[in-house]
Structure 1
Amino acid sequence: MSDARSQRPPDDEDGIEMSPAALDDFLETAGDGVLTLHADEPYSFPVSFGYDVATGRCVLQLVSAPDSAKRALLDDEADATLVAYEWTAPDDWRSVVVSGELARVPDDGAAHDVYAEQATPVGMSVFGTGAQNLDVEWYELDAASRSGRRSPR
């Protein structure tokens, strides 16, 4: 039995592939998504991010408790995938998947600027402890691959 989805035209209700320029535009405005660290068991969590079009990198400020599962999985370099999406209605949506290497970067101001301009603000109360007890580090996700689809509006 053949898969009916594979027989549909490419720009049907499954969405239309986004151009590189449309991917850049979306990533610059998305501000948040879900990051998955590729470990023995994948670990996913919501994040805020900024996107630097000039370098093709997503900039993240990752906050964690010293003994958290997230902290244990954050190496100097790790494979990761970021999914960002926007859904307004069944016929009005966009989603982008960015995969690559997640690496720690210094807080040299450049990462902070991109993040501050574009990331979705998030309160620290989600961590259940005071800010003084949290580790805050800057990371970049170097986009080795990007893909996105949008509704065929």
Structure 2
Amino acid sequence: MSIDELQEYGLSEMDDGEIRQFLSSQKVGVLGLPDANEPYLLPLSFGYDGEERLYFTYLIGSSSRKGTMSEETDTASFLVYKVDTMYNWQSVLLTGTITDVPDTEWDDLEETMSDVWRPNLFETASLSGDVKLYEFRIREQTGVKHQGLPPGFEAGGESN
């Protein structure tokens, strides 16, 4: 079914303001990088500049598939979603470019990255590995949400 067909059940598209507000309130999503055989998907925390850029911190080991793939791709996708109940959820899909941020620019992003969630494991591991910062520049964005019961339904069952 298309989004248009699902609107009669309560699904609605998010406008740019709703997408910005949603991204500002979230901390984790899934990065999709293209690969020859199948997409490479990574759960990542992110910082958002409130406009058109997300930032990811990578912990890079001696050989990093995500680092190599990020450097080689022209287009990546990022999915952010939140599910409270089966009738109350939001989802935003972003498409854009991903590039390495030079170390000299990290201080400029301190505020954007200040409240990014990171597992405690990263704090320990970062002492023995290289850390890189990547910028995801949003080219396209779409968002959908469902908030509340579908028309014709009441709590506890279908209406008569």
Structure 1 partner of 2:118:
121
* TM-score, normalisation: structure 2: 0.79
Greater shift in the superposed pair: 65-74 or 32-41: 65-74
Give % identity.
25
Letter of the 2:56 partner, please give it: L
**Aligned pair partner of 2:45 in 40, 44, 48:** 48
* TM-score, normalisation: structure 1: 0.82
- Does 1:32 pair with 2:28? yes
Structure 1 gap segments, 5+ residues each: none
Assess if the C-alpha contact under 8 Å between 1:11 and 1:152 holds in 2. Answer: no
Separation (CA, whole Å) in 2 of partners of 1:98 and 1:74: 15
Assess if the C-alpha contact under 8 Å between 2:81 and 2:89 holds in 1. Answer: yes
Assess if the C-alpha contact under 8 Å between 1:99 and 1:146 holds in 2. Answer: yes
Structure with bigger gyration radius: 2
CA-atom RMSD, angstroms? 2.4
How many residue pairs match? The answer is 145
Structure 2 gap segments, 5+ residues each: 149-160
Map 1:28-107 → 2, pairs under 5 A = 28-40=24-36, 41-54=38-51, 56-75=52-71, 78-107=74-103
Letter of the 2:41 partner, please give it: S
Partner SS for 2:44: strand
Structure 2 partner of 1:138:
133
Separation (CA, whole Å) in 2 of partners of 1:43 and 1:120: 22
Partner SS for 1:67: coil
Runs of 4+ in structure 1 deviating by more than 3 angstroms, as ranges, are 6-10
